[in-house]
Amino acid sequence: MLIVGLGNPGPQYKKTRHNVGFMVIETLASECRIAFSEKHEVFLLGSGRVDHETILIAKPRTFMNLSGTAVRRILENTGIDPSHLIVVHDDIDLALGRIQIKTRGGHGGHKGILSILSTLQTDQFYRLRIGVGRPPRDLDAAEYVLRPFKSEEHSLLARVIRQSVEALHCMVVVGTQKAMERYNRKVIRDQ
């Protein structure tokens, strides 16, 4: 299984809503003691294990709108079929505190997913959508996702990242259907 977290490279984007895919993949890497040891022109790649299952994890080095270029190169270099790909990304159509595992479908306005769909010419991959909430009415969605999370959201964000990592473990070890049943209806609350 290949798990790719989406985000934008560079320190100025590190804590933004658009980079929640990177946040999740970095937490997974840390917990599984996986280093991004392979550094390619358009992606970083690491390998390790979740329980007894071997996984590859990757971060594109391209900007979000060019994610498809990186994902195609990762698949070519690893020989993995898109049907064994999980893409972790932000989603403004889900409230902060919701995650959703999805198979197939369109891009829903997400430029990174649009790039992957266009480049791979298939929707036969899994997605872990992480809710970041809708922008206020007076703010453009593109500008909103490039802003950092508010300080009052940090506690809930940490719980969402934790739940997302658990969902990825479940997808890899138990299976996607069980993970969907377990996590798609759950609402994560701040404590």
For residue 190, tell me if it sits in a domain.
no
Catalytically annotated residues: 18
Position 22 in a domain: yes
Query: How far is it between the farthest Cα atoms of the chain?
Result: 48
- In a domain, residue 55? The reply is yes
Q: Please give the pLDDT value at position 154.
A: 95
pLDDT at 68: 96
In a domain, 112, yes or no: yes
Output the domain CATH number for residue 7: 3.40.50.1470
Residues with Cβ within 8 Å of residue 35, at least 6 apart in sequence: 29, 46
CB 13 within 8 A of CB 26: no
In a domain, 44, yes or no: yes
Task: Report yes or no on 74 lying in a domain.
Answer: yes
- With respect to residue 39, please indicate whether it lies within any of the assigned structural domains: yes
pLDDT in tens, the chain (191 residues): 999 999 999 999 999 999 999 999 999 999 999 999 999 999 999 999 998 899 999 999 999 999 999 999 999 999 999 999 999 999 999 999 999 999 888 787 789 999 999 999 999 999 999 999 999 998 998 899 999 999 999 999 999 999 999 999 999 999 999 999 999 987 888 76
Give every strand in the sheet of 43-50, ordered side by side.
38-39, 43-50, 53-60, 2-5, 85-91, 126-131, 99-103
**95-147 confidence digits (pLDDT tens):** 999 999 998 887 877 899 999 999 999 999 999 999 999 999 989 988 999 99
Is residue 189 assigned to a domain? no
Q: At what angle do helices 67-78 and 111-120 cross, to 10 degrees?
A: 50
Domain carrying residue 9: 2-183
Number of domains in the chain: 1
